[in-house]
Structure 1
Amino acid sequence: MKQETTYPKLNDLLGGLGNLVPGSADHLPQDDCPEQETSSATEATDDDWELFKRNLASYNFREKKDDRMVCKLDRDLADSLDECDIDRKCRSDIVNAIVRTFITRYIDRLRQYRKSNRSLLDKP
């Protein structure tokens, strides 16, 4: 009999990172905001999970990825992700899918933090 694969909840993987974006407390996991309605929190989580799965599916298995940059993860995050087998994807693919999901979800909020590069060449 084929065993059904269960995946961890995206909010569990993110560990409540929604609090890093100002004004996003409404997207924290249910335990942190008990006044939220369960159904709307579940729908948002399911939507986030589906977006994450689509982003993860865009990475091919065991494909060499030359355009990767090094980014250091906290040990507890790396260990937690290494415990997951999500479609046989590597930790880097999972992290990239999580970050893409977060950026896609909060693109409008992230735009306000965009750096404006200032140069002496800009002055008259």
Structure 2
Amino acid sequence: MPEKNSPSLTEENKEVELVIGKILRVGVIVAAAVIIFGLILNFATGTTGYPAGVHPHRIMSILRGTVQLRPYAVLMTGIFLLILTPVLRVVVSIYAFIKEHDTLYAVITTVVLFILGAAMIIGYFH
């Protein structure tokens, strides 16, 4: 087992930090692009793509609306992607802590992931 300050571990830490940074950048850029596309669709069509007062709330109906290029659904997909970006960062952090043999932080980060998941599930069903 390499020591915490060994050169190979330091290099791995730098690589993991670069990957995490790239994930966050790409996630935000993709989410912003989807949201901007949804706004353009909304302004171009002058409608949300749904009758007044009707909007999808379930993931599958939002994805179906996105495939059909309904502006509201496209916007919601972009927001969903934006929300998932930091969650993906937590997943990568768990991997990094396990690779560093840092059990305490791996457990803490896993608990954070479960809390995020529980909050999403509770929000989905309410």
TM-score by length of 1: 0.30
Instruction: Judging by fraction of residues, say which structure has more helix.
Output: 2
